[in-house]
Structure 1
Amino acid sequence: MASPAPSLSRAALAVQLAVVLGSALLLAGPPAQGAMLLVPTTGDAARALVPLAVDRDARLVGSGPLPGSMVVAGTRARLLRPMLRAGVLVFAAPPAGCREPQGVA
């Protein structure tokens, strides 16, 4: 049996990737305002992430859980399009510090 043409395999992979990313954005889409996780997809995106976030009035909160990622507090309307154009994915930030400290009554 012949294998599918390489372009067909790449197209199928691109469609699958788009579905996965689209689902992730729907499930973990960034809030209108508040904490957001910025995840660069390339080295250039990683270098542009902080200056672009600051330029768009986001407050840097700290490093994110993924390599090169950053948690910021900002407004989705100011951040989303510029970040996506720069190759940075924008998600709702994972909750941090939700547990009460041990020994506190």
Structure 2
Amino acid sequence: MTITPIDSTPVDSTQSDRQQQSKLVDGARQFEAMLLGEMLKPLHFGEAAGADDADGDSSGGANDTLRSMGVEALTKSLASGPGFGIAKQIIQQVNREDHSKKIKS
């Protein structure tokens, strides 16, 4: 399986274009991470939601915090690599629209 990196720099780019492209890539990856996070939120890893610990005290707040931090770390890791291709599709579409606008003007 070959994984192609996200092409973040157009061939004929100026410094301003490269900065915009860098922001686009960063934003697309953040969006993909956020979307993956929302998809993974309903998953409960480990104990069932609302389960009591050995002392009979519910530690749901601490577990929820740790769980959400784990999901956030997982989604950022997934999105920073090849991800699921959502960021790549966003980047390609925005670049196509930007190129079309430049040709029309």
TM-score over 0.5 for the alignment?
Answer: no
Q: More strand per residue: 1 or 2?
A: 1
TM-score by length of 1: 0.33
TM-score by length of 2: 0.33
Larger radius of gyration: 2
